[in-house]
Amino acid sequence: MDRKISLTGIKPTGNLHIGNYFGAIKPALELAGEYDARYFIADYHALNTMKDPAELSATIREVAAGWLACGLDPENVVFYRQSAVSEVFELATMLMAFTGKGLMNRAHAYKAALQENAEKGDDPDAGVNMGLFTYPVLMAADIILFDSDVVPVGKDQVQHIEMAQDIAQSVNYNYKQEVLKVPQAAVQEHVAVVPGLDGRKMSKSYGNTIPLFIPEKNLRKLIMRIVTNSQGVEEPKDPAASQIFLLYKLFASAEEQTALEERYREGGMGWGEAKEELFRVVNRELSPVRERFNAIVSDTQGLDRILAAGAEKARPIAAATVKRFRKAAGID
């Protein structure tokens, strides 16, 4: 029996960090064990905000290399650039004819832009391009094109899948047949929330990240900057209240966690020593990942061949969906 299909979109935002690693990359890669997994780099989506061509080109390759370094196996999954599959845009155009403007008006990103403009006293649509406004339709095309059964998302992204469902159902209702598969959201309830250097959620917007691929010396410097309280060396400390220990748990074995937790509670260990322990386990896991990334990203031609091979696998799937839609619409 064929396995169900999962689809994961990857934003080319660059500078992947530990929060991305545990919150997005590892959970997404685990899907390949259960699903026929497909992954794409959403480079056309990135045009909405990234207008510098050199920056976008470099970021696309860095993100692709990052996912490959973290364990994505292009031989066992379909891994491609959105821009390399022209059927995405043909399907998006067709879906536009079945998408109400009112639906787009309710999109979170568009509403957030309107609210920001209202707070600044600007025109409601100031700075809003049609890429932003129709973003959910292009995303629906990304999803529907590959007959996706499930799309793993966080709670804040469920609306995008609901919109894709609405659009696909509109098409199917109009033609009185299942032209398009209706996707389902696989909400990731238990994805790790990774603390940053200042204790808040790790995020580039907070400037508190630990990048995945920085050199060992720089990694140690960043870890040494983690904010702590004023407790002295001899004082017992609560591991549950320490972002150092919360990060440590992500990288350490169960035995290591138990041993360090006991040292926290007993006292006699300062924050500097706790940070050294954290650096040890982080660097242990990230060193081979860093080495793979540096090798992959430096081989531009090899990386481009991997993405081109993924697109070759993706296109026949995409073409079949478009052909099915065109036939139903009477324009085949």
Q: Helix axis angle, 271-298 relative to 300-329, nearest 10°?
A: 70
Nearest to 152, CA basis, from 320, 313, 310, 4: 4
Helix-helix angle 87-96:300-329, to 10 degrees: 40
Selecting among 11, 204, 249, 313, the annotated active-site residue is 204
Q: Which two tokens stand for residue 154?
A: 């966080």
* 201 annotated active-site: yes
Catalytic annotation on 120? yes
Helix axes 271-298, 216-224, angle to 10 degrees: 150
Q: CB under 8 Å to 295, separation ≥6 — which residues?
A: none
- Running DSSP on this structure, what letter comes out for residue 80? E
**Beta bridge mates, 10:** 41
- Give the span between the Cα atoms of 106 and 111, in whole angstroms: 7
Q: Which residues of 95-124 are buried (b: 16+ CB within 10 A; e: fewer)?
A: beebbeeebbeebeebeebbeebeeeeeee
Of the listed 11, 26, 181, 201, which one is catalytic?
A: 201
φ/ψ of residue 275, rounded to 5: -70, -35
Q: Cα–Cα–Cα angle for 187, 188, 192, nearest 5°?
A: 160
- The reply to whether 11 belongs to the active site is no
Q: Which of 111, 120, 155, 327 is catalytic?
A: 120
Which residues are known catalytic residues? 120, 201, 204
